[in-house]
Amino acid sequence: MTLAVFLAIMALSLGIALWSRRGHGQQGARAFFTASGQFGAVLFFFLSVGETYSIASMLGFPGGVYDGGDAFVLWFFGYILLACCCIYFLGPWIWRAGRLYGSATIPDFFRDHWGSRPLELLIAITSIILLLPIGTMQFTGLRLVLGGLAPEARPVLLTGAAGLLCFAYVVIAGLRASAFVAVLKDLLMMGSILLVGGLAIADWQAVPAVAQAVPAPAATQPDMVFAISTILLQAVGFTMIPQNWAFLFSAKNPQAIRRAQVAAPLYMLMFPLLMATATYAQGHGIVPSEPDYVFLAVAEVLLHPAAMGLVMAAVALSGLVILSSVCLAIGPLVTRNLAPNLGSAAQQRWSRWVVAAFLLLSLLSAESGGTLMARLNNLFYFGVVQTLPGFIAALLLPRVPVAAVIGGIVAGDGLVLALWLGNVPVGGLNLGVIGLAANIAVLAGVTLLRPRNGGRSVVSAVRAGEA
């Protein structure tokens, strides 16, 4: 029964992806990768929350509470909440910057603003390196869910089928398919969390707590230096994530971005339910096969098998939607930025091969344990945030030369990498903050020594009516 419901929802998601392309059969490359200017506030809202809450939110958050206590909740919840505010203020300017130059990716914008191929290559290569682990992380989560669904099947076959489904979303309608499937995913995800969390709360006193098989971790105090620096770094870094630029470009206008971000924090009310689910498991002797399975383990105890199929599908879709949007971010990074001068049709055609290769690499990495990718994943926010000083400079400071932006990114990335590899103690501060400070210092220093002449800022160009 669980499997039948799960498969029916997966088939429905494929049907929705096919339906999403109606009237958009022949899209240009920018429309395919970013659904440029097609989405109003409601669809944009679903796409943005669909991109934010991955399989890690649904499984990893309660798993972390179950396994290690609640010390991480402050920075995890805090940065996502503050990211809504950052997107509210910066998102409209990213949209305008993209509109000004007709950009589909972050490197597109930097290349066109400064007229620099080396800057384009630098940002494209670092973005690809940083995005690679996300695929592995999603497949690792999918493996956990699908293994629970069909324990007797070979895991690689199950994750392979999930990879094919994701590939189908991408090929069928690009970002439009991701957005429409995200609506299904978000409805199922919210419904599942409300159902499982609500039943756990209702059952809290109805069933007496049994002797705890796993003692609940003691309350732990967050390291405030780390928490505050991580909240700030990851909230601003969130605006520079490559696939987030694609979803920002999909908005019909800047007002749609702001309307969606006003509502976005309400979506976070799922976190207390997820946390209650983890503490319910601790108090009621539910022992998952591994900590990240705790939400599904509680669902198995509380739900009818058919409803369990819905929950499994919600978790799987939360991984697949993120996976498809990362595919749509990596595809143009390769076909537009690493290999320029391809026509619109060629970009889409070659992107399919790039996406297929990315999915295969991610799947194999997840199957092999993904140790390297898990380590690289730790660098994600340290790296993505390094384009922020350059973007702010492009918005406001016409005298910043391209050498300053390149020097800043290289210094920021290099310092973070050196500190990370060397395990250098930094007093609990998030390493990305140190890299960002080095980046800004280099950008300011080079600008003072060799200011650019004849440049213009994005703000002045927009005010002059060019976008």
Partner 1 sequence: MSRLWPVLVGLVLPLALILASALLVPDDAPRLLGISLANWCLFACAPVTTALLAVCYRWGPRA
Chain contacts with partner 1 (rule: CB under 8 A): 70, 73-74, 77-78, 81-82, 84-86, 88-89, 92, 201, 204, 216, 219, 221-222, 224, 227-228, 231-232, 253-255, 257-259, 261-266, 268-269, 271-272, 275-276, 278-280, 282-283
Minimum CB separation of residue 231 from partner 1 in Å reads 7
Minimum CB separation of residue 232 from partner 1 in Å reads 8
CA-nearest of 176, 174, 173, 150 to 161 is 150
How far apart (Å, rounded) are the C-alpha atoms in residues 66 and 290? Answer: 10
Minimum CB separation of residue 181 from partner 1 in Å reads 25
Minimum CB distance to partner 1 smaller for 65 or for 122: 65
Minimum CB separation of residue 254 from partner 1 in Å reads 4
Minimum CB distance to partner 1 smaller for 78 or for 288: 78
CA-nearest of 432, 387, 437 to 109 is 387
Minimum CB distance to partner 1 smaller for 234 or for 324: 234
Minimum CB distance to partner 1 smaller for 216 or for 356: 216
Residue 360: burial class (beta carbons within 10 Å; 0-12, 13-18, 19+): middle
Minimum CB distance to partner 1 smaller for 77 or for 420: 77
How far apart (Å, rounded) are the C-alpha atoms in residues 451 and 464? Answer: 23
Minimum CB distance to partner 1 smaller for 100 or for 338: 100
> DSSP secondary structure string, 229-277?
HHHHHHHHHHTT-HHHHHHHHTBSSHHHHHHHHHHGGGGGGHHHHHHHH
How far apart (Å, rounded) are the C-alpha atoms in residues 26 and 24? Answer: 6
Minimum CB separation of residue 444 from partner 1 in Å reads 22
> DSSP secondary structure string, 384-440?
HGGGHHHHHHHHH-TT--HHHHHHHHHHHHHHHHHHHHTT---TT--HHHHHHHHHH
* Angle CA 463–465–467, to nearest 5: 100
The gap from C-alpha 338 to its chain's centroid, in whole angstroms, comes to 22
* 183-195 as b/e: b if 16+ CB within 10 A: bbbbebbbebbeb
Name every residue whose Cβ is closer than 8 Å to that of residue 182 and which is 6 or more positions away in sequence.
Answer: 46, 47, 49, 50, 51, 321
- Return the DSSP state at 218: P
Minimum CB distance to partner 1 smaller for 32 or for 76: 76
Minimum CB distance to partner 1 smaller for 191 or for 272: 272
Minimum CB separation of residue 77 from partner 1 in Å reads 6
- Return the DSSP state at 291: G
SS3 call for 39: strand
Alpha-carbon distance values, 185 to 49, 137, 309 (Å)? 10, 18, 13
- Return the DSSP state at 88: H
Minimum CB distance to partner 1 smaller for 52 or for 325: 52
Minimum CB separation of residue 430 from partner 1 in Å reads 15
Minimum CB separation of residue 260 from partner 1 in Å reads 10
Minimum CB distance to partner 1 smaller for 273 or for 315: 273
Minimum CB separation of residue 276 from partner 1 in Å reads 5
Minimum CB separation of residue 262 from partner 1 in Å reads 4
